[in-house]
Amino acid sequence: MRIDESDGVSASRKHLVFAYYVTGHGFGHATRVVEVVRNLILAGHDVHVVTGAPDFVFTSEIQSPRLFIRKVLLDCGAVQADALTVDRLASLEKYSETAVKPRESILATEIEWLNSIKADLVVSDVVPVACRAAADAGIRSVCVTNFSWDFIYAEYVMAAGNHHRSIVWQIAEDYSHCEFLIRLPGYCPMPAFRDVIDVPLVVRRLHKTRKEARKELGISNDVKLVILNFGGQPSGWKLKEEYLPSGWLCLVCGASDSQELPPNFIKLAKDAYTPDLIAASDCMLAHILQETAIGKNYASDKFSGARRLRDAIVLGYQLQRVPGRDISIPEWYSSAENELNKSTGSPTTQIIENGSLTSICTDDFEILHGDLQGLPDTKSFLKSLAELDTVYDSEKNSEKRQMREHKAAAGLFNWEEDIYVARAPGRLDVMGGIADYSGSLVLQMPIKEACHVAVQRNHASKHRLWKHAQARQNAKGQGPTPVLQIVSYGSELSNRGPTFDMDLSDFMDGEMPISYDKAKTYFAQDPSQKVGTILVLMTELGVRFEDSISMLVSSAVPEGKGVSSSASVEVASMSAIAAAHGLSISPRDIALLCQKVENHIVGAPCGVMDQMTSACGEPNKLLAMVCQPAEVIGLVEIPSHIRFWGIDSGIRHSVGGADYGSVRIGAFMGRKMIKSIASSTLSRSLPTANGLIHDELEDHSVDLIKAEASLDYLCNLSPHRYEALYAKMLPESILGETFLEKYIDHNDAVTIIDEKRTYVVRAPANHPIYENFRVKAFKALLTSTSSDEQLTALGELLYQCHYSYSACGLGSDGTDRLVRLVQEMQHGKPSKSEDGTLYGAKITGGGSGGTVCVIGRNCLRSSQQILEIQHRYKGGTGYLPFIFEGSSPGSGKFGYLRIRRPVSRS
């Protein structure tokens, strides 16, 4: 709609001053703004344009002393190689540098400037901070756009930069200060704006007629013409001739110089004037802006900024949901409705200048130390803590065991004292698995599911005891003594008792802690992981516990699925206990101490990768660690186009099972045999007493064999040396008694050889040597150029690992079935005709069941295929697999929370 005098827009209404902020993302916004600004100036108003776009975009169309251009870049949009290719992570990082780090100075400058020009209205297309600056300056603001950066950046965060999530919160909050949104056609969901006015398309004026434009392009009037002009989002499109009906042509805007197009697609010059290629009109925007500036209320209703922000976060991601399942929806968004019911700002507003957190109040607790980090499971855990002292209606709870858990936990804590909360996730074994105890490089991803542990210490005289514990102390006649009390939620799923208690003095044998062997027997029937952490701290660090300890354990990491449920419980328990007692223990040391719990008290001969991932992992990254014994060499970013899933086979895995232990013994037997072979070769090659050399070897070969004769870890032996000298000399298997007669010991402190059992040797020795090589190759490929070949190679490495597990005897029908389903999906006709989405799969962790790790392209179709595999597996087995997707911080990154019930609470 064009604007004329009959619309009532004229200089006689009032001379107004508009501050018009234009995003630095491309020229599209600026060229749209030109038409609005031109009509505002024609109406007699002054317009100050704040932009990073070149002056000529405006001055070529508007020559007027009422136009003022101020060159300031306050947002940067997307970092693009061309109109269709976006670097998501680089975009987030650039926005952080441009608008987040200097935010305080930006706001101060803009508020001062807005007041200096006496602005009547701030218009934003669609610069977030402009809305906040306007609000702080006491000036009304409106936005004009068909998309908003909170929505765009949210997709970038999901795909590439979870650690930049605060950007999205801040942008949404900035938009919440906007009066209303003038929404243009072709819009994406923009829930940050509660009040919306829809208007027609805004475009620049035509320079050529339709006929003139076609003639210049050499296109006759009878040809059907479509225009592809789509920027700012990664498309992944490969244009094909058959995409268009016969007789149609497509004009492609913004294609890269290297991009090859089919003959019915025409690549336009980058400076092509697109309005001449599109049907165009002016619109009524100037009228709305003028009316708003003089005080007219266009907003349909008034809601607080917090309400708008809540809607932005909750509704925004509801719009992206796939029916029946959430796809790529961050937990920090899906839980935001509860988070913001009482809050008036985003989490970023709670951070003071030096980066530390001030005291934060939730509905039920005052957080004296730590940060929720937007984790919904942590918020749910705190909510469950707050509900412990509420009346429990047994008629509403059919699960008697759950009732017992709640009643036991209800008296666990003294609400007038501090409680310490730690969180530790499970892990998905991407590569490395059972090669960890042989010194391999491993790549592990912390999963979304985690264990929370709350710990409180109290003087024995103030500690509330359960009735049987009170009776026990009364019988001893010693008065109050320190007691350990543990409540475990969900214990019915593992057939354990929901409660456990013991006198802390039972950990002592005279002046020293009881031995690990005695503890293994003592705790065999109950929660040895949680209790074991206390004994390990006493034994290894000399800690003595003088106060009673109350622990509440709540784990969402499913047991028996090969995702390290035990490690998450151990790490969370030790972290919480350490925090409550003021112990400063590094995440790495916590992991090593927790491994001792597994090895010496639980009796599971595991390596340390599980505990290290749970303690040291970071979200959306793979922890890279060389297990000699536990050296973290870095965190590997998961590329934005790659995604990992875990699919549970339903077959219970136990790292303490006989299969895992026997394979480990076989690997250590193989190492002992290789060292013996190397020593024998070396003795034949060294000079004898009479100066003769029995077997000529090059000097460098002697050095190699010396190293192999003292081999600490199998993974330090390269595959080519193993194949050349040792592989054929190892037996397929050996009787335990025979091995001990010849070699005396296999030199593994956490396993014992059964003399009457036959152990496979060659396959368990093969696996870690080749797996170490595969993991190194996998890590290198992750950082290579994105391509179908890259994904194919990564998937092939997973498949090779899977079949190596099977050769060791650690396969299972369920995990094999899942891997076959992935292969069928990968090689099926639909996948062959299009870009593949799933590329490989492998059994994980200790094997013999548990979970399969799948690698695929990070896209919606991959997630749909994962769901299809889930349902096919159920159709074949009757079991619906649990799917692990998403990641979360390790305990070290999470730290701990120190919380207390507010004084006003009863």
Q: What is the dihedral of CA 606, 611, 613, 618, to 10 degrees?
A: 170
Residue 532 CB coordination number (10 Å): 25
User: Measured in Å, how far apart are the chain's first and last C-alpha atoms?
Assistant: 63
Q: What is the rounded CA–CA span in Å between residue 465 and residue 548? A: 10
Q: Which of 89, 84, 81 is nearest to 641 (CA)?
A: 89
Q: What is the rounded CA–CA span in Å between residue 486 and residue 184? A: 58
Tokens describing residue 640? 């934005």
Q: What is the rounded CA–CA span in Å between residue 906 and residue 904? A: 6
| Distance of alpha carbon 47 from the chain centroid | 44
Tokens describing residue 235? 């498309």
User: Strand order of the sheet with strand 224-228?
Assistant: 224-228, 248-252, 265-267
Q: What is the rounded CA–CA span in Å between residue 773 and residue 767? A: 10
Q: Which of 496, 502, 530 is nearest to 405 (CA)?
A: 496
Residue 527 CB coordination number (10 Å): 20
Q: SS3 letters for 681-743?
A: HHHHHCECCCCCECCCCCHHHHHHHHHHHCCCCHHHCCHHHHHHHHHHHCCCEEEHHHHHHHH
Contacts of 488 (CB under 8 A, 6+ apart): 405, 496, 497, 498, 499, 500, 527, 530, 553, 554
CB contact burial 469-499 (16+ within 10 A = b; e otherwise): beebbeeeeeeeebbbbbbbbbbbeeeebbb
Count Cα neighbours of 521 within 13 Å in the Cβ-side half-sphere. Answer: 4
Q: Is 236 exposed, middle or buried (0-12, 13-18, 19+ CB in 10 A)?
A: exposed
Contacts of 55 (CB under 8 A, 6+ apart): 69, 71
DSSP H or E run through 248: strand 248-252
How far CA 687 is from CA of 363, 681, 684, 701, 786, in Å, comes to 80, 12, 8, 15, 54
Q: Which of 46, 54, 22, 164 is nearest to 100 (CA)?
A: 164
Assess contact for 507 and 538: CB atoms under 8 A: yes
Q: Does the annotation count 610 as an active-site position?
A: yes
Task: Identify the DSSP state of 623.
Answer: E
Q: Is 389 exposed, middle or buried (0-12, 13-18, 19+ CB in 10 A)?
A: middle
Assess contact for 46 and 68: CB atoms under 8 A: yes
Q: What is the rounded CA–CA span in Å between residue 487 and residue 468? A: 15
Assess contact for 747 and 672: CB atoms under 8 A: yes
Q: Among the options 610, 648, 659, 748, which is catalytic?
A: 610
Contacts of 83 (CB under 8 A, 6+ apart): 229, 230, 231, 232, 253, 254, 255
Q: Is the dihedral of CA 93, 98, 102, 106 positive or negative?
A: negative
How far CA 679 is from CA of 683, 698, 704, in Å, comes to 6, 16, 11
Tokens describing residue 904? 């006003």
DSSP H or E run through 499: strand 499-503
152: helix, coil or strand?
Answer: helix
Residues assigned a catalytic role: 610
